[in-house]
Amino acid sequence: MTVDIRHPTPTAAWTPRTATSLAVLAAAAFTYVTAEILPVAALPAIASDLDVSAALVGTLLAGYALVAAVTTVPLVRWTSHWPRRRTLLVTLVCLAVSQIICATAPNFAVLAGGRLLCALTHGLMWSVIAPIAARLVPADHAGRATAAVYSGTALALVVGNPLTAAISELSGWRVAVLMIAAAATAVLLGARAVLPPLPSTAGAVCRTGRRVAGRRSHALSALTLVGVTGHFVSYTFIVVILREVIGLRGPQLAWLLAAFGIAGLLSMAATARAGDRDPRTAVLCGLTLLATAFGVLAWTAADGRAALIGVVAVLVWGATSTALPPMLQAAVIRSAPEDPDAASGRYVTAFQVGIMAGALAAGVLYEWAGPAGLLTASAVLIGAALGGVLAVRDLFGVPSAIAGSNAGNLLSDQHPSSASRPPADAADEPPREAVAGPCAVRDWFRALCNWR
């Protein structure tokens, strides 16, 4: 395989400038995700201020996911020859402007329009942020760089979501949105100052086989859609659920939302190795616990006297819903070693459609059956995903070539000098081209588990 990537290869991994650049990228992820899920945290405040129903506010999340799913691929193609820093800066400008529009919205229609602008560039941001991180460090450190950037997403759940919920309760949702706009502007200036231009590598894409082992990747994507729908049916109204089912208000509610995110962070680190070595068992355990958590919360909603058990169920919900997506995406990529990018794109599309379907269904179910109906529907849908995993026996099979390959295969494409250094046992290994993507996912998990 011949690869011509025309950018310098870093020789030092974690220089102060590199660490600062990765921190800026993580901050970009944090700000975007916090803006995306703000309607979840501020749902009651937005509904009250704009004099609309909570169900209508819930559709903001669905509309966001729909726009992101539809526009990502065209925008990625349109900007493919831009320098990567310019692409990221454009997405941050759109984020800041969209938040200003939302903060000053006189009615729901203008608020939805502001969200539309943010959603347009959401997928584009995610298409460039991880490759930028990988290009800032040598190949053998790219997994840790990616993990550092994606910590921003987890922190959005741990810090961003409860913080915006608390600000919405104390000072109003518009103040929370303005704070996101200020954060986006700060990240924009930081990215412009510390990131190198990073020319596009669109003309240097390695040409591998285009055939995809479609059955498993399609099945995994379908199960992902069902599971994500089940999660977001209830997550869209999580603030309402915590209020009406568990009886929390104000700071107590914000603390439980923070614990929800912390449980997710801890579980993602704890299950990363298991998800790599035995993904089927790990996913089965995760889905079983998640379905049980929703069932317990539905029982709590009907009984009304088991608030402590409900708190434990919420923590289990946070832990499992955060740990499952990376395991499923890794399985999707492993299922199609000849074209992991296409398989991963299918997974991302399924995830976005699941968000949209869950948020839309949540609005209808909440008006019809309240929190108990939401939680029951989530339990049923997660149970259906669990049944699908049990029904397809080879869904998580790992090709032997993938399991036995060494680190850095995909990343060596991005750093030719690293690729030129063959391992000592290279003569005994199978060709690397077909297994690059899955190996990178395995190394991401390894980096997360062995973080130093």
Confidence check: pLDDT of 78 > 90: no
Query: At a CB cut-off of 8 Å and minimum separation 6, what does 202 contact?
Result: 80, 81
Give me the pLDDT at residue 446, please: 43
What is the Rg, in whole angstroms, of the alpha carbon atoms belonging to the chain?
22
Tell me: pLDDT of 450 over 90. Answer: no
Give the pLDDT band (50/70/90) at residue 333: low
Mean pLDDT over residues 14-29, rounded? 87
The residue with greater pLDDT, 164 or 408, is: 164
313 or 45, which is more confident? 313
- Give the three-class secondary structure for 186: helix
Q: Please give the model's pTM, rounded to 2 decimal places.
A: 0.65
Q: Backbone dihedral region of 165: left (phi > 0), alpha (psi from -120 to 50 degrees) or beta?
A: alpha
User: Residue 282 carries which side chain, given as an amino acid letter?
Assistant: A
Find out whether 46 and 111 touch, Cβ atoms under 8 Å.
yes
CB 108 within 8 A of CB 39: no
At residue 206, does pLDDT exceed 60?
no
**298 vs 355 pLDDT, higher one:** 298
CB neighbours of 318 closer than 8 A, spacing ≥ 6? 157, 259, 260, 261, 262, 263, 264, 267
User: Residue 226's pLDDT band (boundaries 50, 70, 90)?
Assistant: very high
Quick one: tokens of 317?
A: 């919900």
Asked if pLDDT for residue 395 goes beyond 70, the answer is yes
| Main-chain dihedrals φ then ψ at residue 11, nearest 5 degrees | -105, -20
Q: Which of 114-123, 206-215, 355-364 has the lowest mean pLDDT?
A: 206-215
User: Nearest-CA neighbor of 39 among 136, 119, 97?
Assistant: 119
What's the rounded Cα separation, in Å, for the pair 80 and 75?
Answer: 8
The residue assigned the tokens 């840790």 is 144
Q: For residue 40, what pLDDT band results from cuts at 50, 70 and 90? A: confident
Say which range, 72-76, 171-175, 244-248, 430-434, has the weakest mean pLDDT. Answer: 430-434
pLDDT of residue 81: 83
Highest mean pLDDT among 28-32, 124-128, 276-280: 28-32
Mean pLDDT of 381-408: 70
Range list of H helices, 236-278: 238-241, 250-277
- CA 276 to chain CA mean position, Å: 18
Q: Choose the most confident range, by mean pLDDT, from 150-159, 204-213, 395-404.
A: 150-159
Domains and CATH numbers, the chain: 17-199 (1.20.1250.20), 213-417+433-452 (1.20.1250.20)
DSSP 37: T
Residue 149 has pLDDT above 70, yes or no: yes
Q: How many CA atoms lie within 13 A of 154 on its CB side?
A: 22
Q: Which two tokens stand for residue 98?
A: 């969209």
State the average pLDDT over residues 338-344: 56
Percentage of the chain modeled with pLDDT above 70: 74
Asked whether the predicted pLDDT for residue 442 surpasses 70, the reply is: no
Measured CA to CA in angstroms, residue 146 lies from 13, 394, 411 at distances of 13, 29, 11
**pLDDT at residue 449 greater than cutoff 70:** no
CA distance 253 to 201: 46
> Cβ atoms within 10 A of the Cβ of 72, count?
23
CA–CA–CA angle 271, 282, 404 (5° rounding): 80
Where does 392-425 have alpha helices with state H?
400-403, 409-414, 416-419
Q: What is the dihedral of CA 229, 230, 234, 235, to 10 degrees?
A: -60
% of the chain surpassing 90 pLDDT? 27
Quote the CA–CA distance of 10 and 135 in Å, as a whole number.
8
Q: Which of 167, 49, 37 is nearest to 108 (CA)?
A: 49
Report which of residues 33 and 418 the model is more confident about: 33
- Share the mean pLDDT of the chain: 76
Q: How far apart are CA 193 and CA 189, in angstroms?
A: 6
Any idea what DSSP says for residue 420? T
CA distance 418 to 412: 6
φ, ψ of residue 3 in degrees (nearest 5): -130, 135
> What is d(CA 418, CA 416) in angstroms, rounded to the nearest whole number?
5
pLDDT by residue (tens digit) across 155-176? 887 788 878 888 888 888 999 9
